[in-house]
Amino acid sequence: MKMPKYSFMDAKDIILKNVGKEINFTSKISRGKIITDTGIILNAYNNIFTIQTKKDGKENVISFSYNDIVNNNLSLNLAKAQNN
């Protein structure tokens, strides 16, 4: 069994430190579909966090669990956020 790269608290700390910053993310969703997009981390709550995306002039808010990061269903590219 493969060990997780991050713990729940590690994932939560990463998100909390980057609230309000722009990120690139890749999410594995049902039936093998993969979403790659850019967004801004809006809020961080106890068990979930939200990312706002803009596509075709529409703003969408997507929620994720910190466990998505722990289970490698969500990967974040914070390089853009750290360079600002």
Domain boundaries along the sequence of the chain: 8-83
List, for residues 20-73, the tens digit of each pLDDT value: 999 999 999 888 899 999 999 999 999 999 999 998 889 999 999 999 999 889
What's the confidence (pLDDT) of residue 3?
Answer: 59
Is residue 49 within 8 Å of residue 66, measured between CB atoms?
Answer: yes
What's the confidence (pLDDT) of residue 81?
Answer: 45
Question: Can you tell me the distance from the alpha carbon of 84 to that of 65, in angstroms, rounded to the nearest whole number?
Answer: 25
DSSP summary character for residue 7: -
**Collapsed DSSP state (helix, strand, coil) of residue 70:** helix
Task: Select 8-83's CATH number: 3.90.180.10, 2.40.50.140, 2.30.30.100, 3.10.450.50.
Answer: 2.30.30.100
DSSP summary character for residue 2: P
Both tokens assigned to 38: 């850019």
Is residue 12 within 8 Å of residue 70, measured between CB atoms?
Answer: no
List, for residues 21-34, the tens digit of each pLDDT value: 999 999 998 888 99
